[in-house]
Amino acid sequence: MDRIPILRMGEFLLVTIQVDMHDQLALTLQDDLSERISACSSKGVLIDISALDMVDSFIGRMIGNISGLSKIMDADTVLVGMQPAVAITLVELGLTLPGVITALNVERGMTLLRARLDHQ
Amino acid sequence: MIVRDSGTQPVRIEQDVVLARHTVRRLAVECGLRLIDQTKIVTAASELARNTVVYGGGGDMDWEILEDGARHGLRLVFRDEGPGIADMKLAMTDGWTSGNGLGLGLTGAKRLVGDFDIDSRPGVGTRITIARWT
Amino acid sequence: MAALARQTTDAMGSHEAALLAEWRANLEASGAARGLSPEELARQTAEFLGLVITCAVNGDASNISGADWDSARQFLEKLSRTRATQGFESHHTANFIFSLKRPLFALLQRTYATDPATLADQMWATTELLDQLGMHTTRTFQKSREEVIKRQQEELLELSTPVVKLWDGVLALPMIGTLDSQRTQVVMESLLQRIVDTGSEIAIIDITGVPTVDTLVAQHLLKTVTAIRLMGADCIISGVRPQIAQTIVHLGLDLQGIVTKANLADALALALRRSGLTVVKAS
C-alpha cells in the first residue's frame, strides 16, 4: 500500500504531499504522523502542500486533525505553501482551519517553528 | 445552448473520487475556465463524488461541455440509486452530517458553483447537477 | 420544403465566372468590400461559391447544419471572425452573402425562362439557402464580437487596480472607486498571486478611495483576508471610512482577527515593525 513519506529533520518532521490523495491515504498519513511524533519526540511538523491543486473538506479535516493531535503531543504544526486558488476555494467551502499555523514556504515555516521553540 | 461534448464515468469506490477530480480538472481546462474556477468545480466535484460513494452506495458522474453564446460551461451530474435524502432542509444545513464528515460537502459544493440542483427521493436515489461558466 | 434542383447547381457551376463577377460588383457597390483588396475579395468569393456548389451538389440545401455543409460553414465562421476582429460592421459581413442573391436570381430566371413553376420553386430554395448562410454568418460575427468585448473587459479589470510593492516583503493594494463583486474578486486574486510570486508576508489592502461597500464586497474582503492567512501571510486593512465601518457592523460581519489601521502610513509602520525594522532620522 502506498504511503506519504515523512522526513525527520532534527526536532522536526517534514511531510511534502505531492500526489492527489484518496481518502484512505490521507487517513494513513494522519496515523503515521502521530506515531512518528511520538517515536521521535518531535517538537514540530511541517506539512508542505504547495504541489496540491485542490484541498477538499476531507483533506482539510485531516490537516485540522493533525494540527490538533500534534498540539496534544506537544508539537506545533505549520501548514505551508497553500496555492491562492486553493485558499480561496477553501474559504468559499467554509473551511477556514482556525488554529492551524500557516507559512508561505518550507523555509519560512521552519523559521517559524524554531522561533516558537526558542520562545518556550 | 449547445452541448459540445459529453461523457459518463463510474463513481463506485474511493479511488473513483480521485479519478473524477482528474477528469473534471481536464474538462475545466478544456472549457477555458480560469484557474480559480477550475479549482472550485474540481473541489465541488470531489465533495459530491465522495457523497455518491459513501452515502449513495456508488453511482455515476455524467459530464457535458456547454456553449451558450460567448460563454462556455461545464455541467456535471452525480447520480446514485442509494437511500436518498430524507430531510432535504437538514442536509442543506452547514455542519450537519449523517456520517462522520464535517457536514460541508453539499452546502460547500453549492457555494462553489454557479448552478446547483438537487433531486432526491428516499428509496429511489439522488441526482445532483452542478455547473460552472466562464 | 423546396430542394435545390440538379439543374440549378449545374447552371451555377457552368456560369461560375459570370456569377462571381456580378457578385463582386454588387459587393463593391454596397460598400461591403471596403477595406479588402481586389485580390482578397476575388479569392474569398471564388472559394465560397465553389464550396456552396460542392455542398449543394452533395448535401441537402434546406438544412445547412448537417455534416454536408461543414466546409461552407467553417469558411463563413473563419470569415466572420476575421471581420469581427478587423472591426467590420455586422451588416457588411451579412451582405457578403446577401449580395449573391441578385446574380443568382438572374441566373435562375434565364435557366427556367420557360418553366415558371420550377422557377418559383428554385427561387424559394435559393432564398432559403442564402438566408440560412447569412444568419449563420451574423451569428458567428456576433459571437466573435462578444468574445472581443469580454476579453477587453477582463483586461480593463486587471489594469484598474495594481498591486504595488511598498517594501521588501510588504505589498499594497490601493483600491479606488466603487467596488463591485466581480472587480473585487479579480483584484483580490491578483493580490494573492503576487503574495506567492514575491514571497511577501504582509499585504495591505487600502480602501481609502472606496466610497461605500455592499454586503457582497464586504464579505469578499473578509474572505480575502482569511485566504491570505491560509497561505501563510498577514493582511492589514487600512483607510476604513466611517460609513464603511458602519456597514460592516450593521451587517454583523465578524472582523475578529482582522487588523485595521486608519491610513496607509500607519499600516506601513505596523508592517515594518512586524518585519523587525525601525525607521530613524539620518542625522
Query: Å from C182 to nearest chain B CA?
Result: 13
pLDDT at B74: 95
Report pLDDT for C243: 83
B vs C, Cβ pairs < 8 A, gives 7
Put simply, the answer to whether C143 touches B36 (Cβ < 8 Å) is no
Tens digit of each residue's pLDDT (9 = 90 or more) over B113-125: 989 999 988 889 9
Backbone angles phi, psi at C34, to 5 degrees: -60, 135
CB proximity B70 to C under 8 Å: yes
Distance from CA of A84 to the nearest CA of C (A): 6
**What local confidence, expressed as pLDDT, does residue C69 receive?**
87
Question: CATH says A6-118 is which class?
Answer: alpha beta
**pLDDT > 70 in chain B, percent:** 95
User: How do the residues of chain B divide into helix, strand and coil, expressed in percent and rounded to 5?
Assistant: 35, 35, 30
CB atoms within 10 A of CB A62: 21
Of the candidates B101, B99, B105, B51, the one whose C-alpha atom is nearest the C-alpha of residue B79 is B51
C-alpha cell, C58:
452533395
State the pTM of this model: 0.73
Phi-psi region of A26 (alpha: psi -120 to 50; beta: other; left: phi over 0): alpha
Instruction: Compute chain C's Rg from CA coordinates.
Output: 32
C-chain residues within 8 Å CB-CB of A84?
189, 192-193, 195-196, 227, 231
Which chains pack against A, by 3+ Cβ pairs within 8 A?
A: B, C
What gap in Å lies between CA A17 and CA A63, rounded to an integer? 12
* CA gap C51, C192 in Å, rounded: 51
Residues A42-73: pLDDT tens digits? 999 999 999 999 999 999 999 999 999 999 99
Residue C193 near chain A (CB below 8 Å): yes
Return the pLDDT at A26: 92
pLDDT digits (tens, 9 = 90+) for B6-36: 999 999 999 999 999 999 999 999 999 999 9
What does chain A come to in residues?
120
Q: What is the CATH number of domain B2-133?
A: 3.30.565.10
DSSP for residue A110: H
The answer on pLDDT for B134 being more than 50 is: yes
Rounded to 5°, the CA angle C145-C146-C149 comes to 90
What are the domain boundaries of chain B?
Answer: 2-133
C-beta separation of A57 from B45 below 8 A: no
What residues 1-40 of chain A have any CB closer than 8 A to a CB of chain B? 20-24
Q: What is the pLDDT at residue C217?
A: 80
Q: Which one of A88, A97, A111, A113 would you mutate to disrupt binding with C, by most C Cβ within 10 Å of its Cβ? A: A88
Q: Which amino acid is at C141?
A: F
Give the nearest partner residue to C232 out of A88, A90, A104, using CB atoms.
A104
Per-residue confidence band for B102, with pLDDT thresholds at 50, 70 and 90: low
Q: HSE-up of A14 (CA within 13 Å, CB side)?
A: 15
Residues of A in Cβ contact (< 8 Å) with B36: 84-85, 88-89
Q: What size, in residues, is chain B?
A: 134
Please state, in angstroms and rounded to a whole number, the distance separating the CA atoms of residues B55 and C174.
47
Under an 8 A CB cutoff, do B69 and C143 touch?
A: yes
If chain A, 120 residues long, is cut into consecutive pieces of 10 residues, what is the mean pLDDT of each piece?
Answer: 87 92 92 94 95 93 93 94 95 90 94 89
Choose the mutation target among A27, A93, A96 for the interface with B, i.e. most B CBs under 10 Å: A93
Q: Taking residues C22-31, what's their average pLDDT?
A: 86
Cell numbers describing residue C244:
464603511
Nearest to B39 among A54, A61, A95 (CB): A54
Any B CB within 8 A of A98 CB: no
* Predicted local confidence at residue C1, as pLDDT: 44
Nearest chain A Cα to C191, which residue?
A84
Of all residues in chain B, the percent with pLDDT exceeding 90 is 61
Q: What's the mean pLDDT when you consider all of chain C?
A: 86
Cβ-contact C147, C178 below 8 angstroms: no
The pLDDT score that the predictor gives to residue A52 is 95
Stronger pLDDT, B42 or C97, i.e. the higher one: B42
Residue range C98-112: average pLDDT? 90
Residues of C in contact with B69 (CB under 8 A): 143, 146
Q: pLDDT, tens digit, for every residue of C151-192?
A: 887 777 666 678 899 999 999 999 888 777 777 888 888 899
- ipTM given for this complex: 0.93
pLDDT digits (tens, 9 = 90+) for C245-260: 888 888 777 777 788 9
Give per-residue pLDDT as tens, C196-245.
Answer: 999 999 999 999 988 888 878 888 888 899 999 999 999 999 998 888 88
